[in-house]
């Protein structure tokens, strides 16, 4: 619909039409009431102008019906836009369960993207059409913002934190990728392309690109940094066993309970003394400056794979016990 219009980019995702519908409704309401108010102001200025210096205007008598009308109707319209916006916000901020997960690391002045199977791209992202894609994003330096106009998605990318955005492309093609947060002298050059492909073509592209799965890269880095010397399954290990840790509740020395999510894992690697697990001493050194943001995400993918393995083993044991 908007493919040749610079003001309204092409609608190329499942959320694009819904976002535009709310936007145009709000524009229509604004235009309608602007014209109504200015029209009434002009009409009243002419209709009730003072015709002579001796004219004394009649006193105004309030109207309850009129007061209720211009209070209730705008309230209904405003609350309708609020509810509509909230529903759209929750849909945008909650990725489906069957997403294709990508890792995005922003750096002055480029986008570094890694696929689950290990393929890496810079300022380019290849995705299949009709497949929800979840982007887990962080920054190595300053604040950036990931924006694909045709998909109507925009998410700030922050240093030291993880933000998530998702989309499902609805038509093949190439779509602009921008950074919309000023990030330095070459901010305008931090651009790229999202290439949406037919699923068969996407699989063919994946097979022709080199790389190893994120979990494999994370395991190698885990062993390279000697994390397995303390975090293992042996009794008396100096660190907690990480198998089955991902997404679980962790009891701390101070009595608090936290969830082992991405933020907790990142903090535990870079600032291990911040949250010490109950039953263990502070022995782990900091890896601040020794591991990149990409490396952190790879280790998290490895820990998540350990959780998947532990869940599968648990299911097998339950089936065996029932038999």
Predicted local distance difference test score (pLDDT) of residue 318: 45
Q: Are 106 and 140 in contact (CB under 8 A)?
A: yes
Mean pLDDT by 10 residues, the chain (323 residues): 65 93 94 95 88 78 85 94 95 90 92 88 93 93 94 93 93 94 93 94 82 82 85 79 83 87 86 85 84 85 74 46 51
Predicted local distance difference test score (pLDDT) of residue 309: 58
CA distances from 57 to 41, 48, 54, 60 (A): 18, 9, 10, 9
What secondary structure letter does DSSP report for 277? B
Predicted local distance difference test score (pLDDT) of residue 133: 95
Residue 167 to residue 220: CA distance in whole angstroms: 31
Residue 16 to residue 156: CA distance in whole angstroms: 19
194-244 residue pLDDT tens: 999 999 999 888 887 666 788 888 888 888 888 888 887 777 778 888 887
Residues 6+ away with beta carbon under 8 Å from 286: 269, 270, 271, 272
Which pTM was predicted? Answer: 0.77
Q: Are 171 and 206 in contact (CB under 8 A)?
A: no
Residue 220 to residue 316: CA distance in whole angstroms: 27
Cross-strand partners of 125: 194
C-alpha count within 13 angstroms, C-beta hemisphere, residue 187? 12
Predicted local distance difference test score (pLDDT) of residue 320: 45
- In 3-state terms, what secondary structure has residue 264? helix
Residue 232 to residue 236: CA distance in whole angstroms: 9
CA distances from 103 to 27, 99, 247 (A): 36, 13, 18
Cross-strand partners of 104: 113, 137
Q: Are 127 and 148 in contact (CB under 8 A)?
A: no
Q: Are 175 and 12 in contact (CB under 8 A)?
A: yes
Predicted local distance difference test score (pLDDT) of residue 189: 92
Residue 15 to residue 132: CA distance in whole angstroms: 11
Task: Report the Cα–Cα distance between both ends of the chain, in Å, rounded.
Answer: 58
Asked if omega into 109 is within 30° of 0 (cis), the reply is: yes
The string of DSSP codes covering 218-231 is HHHHHHHTTGGGTB
Cross-strand partners of 194: 125, 175
At which residue do the structure tokens 């009409």 appear? 43
Predicted local distance difference test score (pLDDT) of residue 321: 52
Residue 306 to residue 260: CA distance in whole angstroms: 13
Residue 316 to residue 208: CA distance in whole angstroms: 36
Residues 6+ away with beta carbon under 8 Å from 278: 251, 252, 253
Q: Are 288 and 270 in contact (CB under 8 A)?
A: yes
């Amino acid at each position: 619909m908007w493919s040749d219009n610079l003001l309204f980019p092409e609608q190329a995702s499942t959320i694009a039409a819904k976002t535009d519908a709310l936007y145009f409704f709000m524009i229509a309401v604004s235009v309608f009431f602007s014209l109504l108010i200015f029209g009434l102001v002009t009409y009243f200025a002419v209709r009730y102008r003072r015709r002579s210096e001796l004219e004394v205007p009649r006193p105004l008598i309030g109207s309850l019906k009129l007061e209720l009308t211009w209070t209730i109707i705008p309230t209904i319209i405003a609350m309708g836009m609020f509810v509509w916006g909230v529903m759209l916000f929750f849909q945008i901020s909650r990725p489906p369960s069957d997403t294709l997960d990508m890792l995005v690391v922003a750096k002055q002045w480029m986008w570094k993207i890694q696929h689950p199977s290990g393929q890496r791209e810079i300022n380019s992202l290849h995705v299949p059409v009709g497949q929800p894609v979840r982007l887990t994003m962080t920054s190595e330096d300053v604040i950036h913002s990931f924006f694909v106009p045709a998909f109507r998605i925009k998410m700030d990318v922050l240093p030291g934190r993880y933000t998530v955005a998702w989309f499902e492309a609805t038509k093949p093609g190439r779509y602009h990728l921008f950074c919309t947060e000023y990030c330095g002298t070459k901010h305008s050059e931090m651009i790229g392309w999202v290439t949406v492909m037919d699923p068969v073509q996407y699989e063919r592209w994946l097979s022709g690109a080199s790389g190893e799965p994120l979990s494999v890269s994370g395991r190698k880095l885990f062993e390279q940094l000697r994390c397995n010397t303390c975090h293992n399954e042996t009794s008396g290990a100096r660190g907690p066993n990480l198998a089955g840790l991902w997404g679980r509740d962790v009891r701390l020395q101070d009595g608090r309970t936290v969830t082992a999510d991405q933020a907790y894992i990142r903090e535990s690697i870079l600032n291990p003394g911040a949250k010490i697990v109950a039953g263990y001493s502070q022995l782990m050194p900091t890896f601040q400056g020794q591991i990149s943001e990409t490396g952190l995400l790879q280790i998290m993918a490895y820990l998540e794979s350990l959780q998947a393995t532990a869940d599968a083993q648990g299911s097998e044991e339950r089936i065996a016990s029932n038999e």
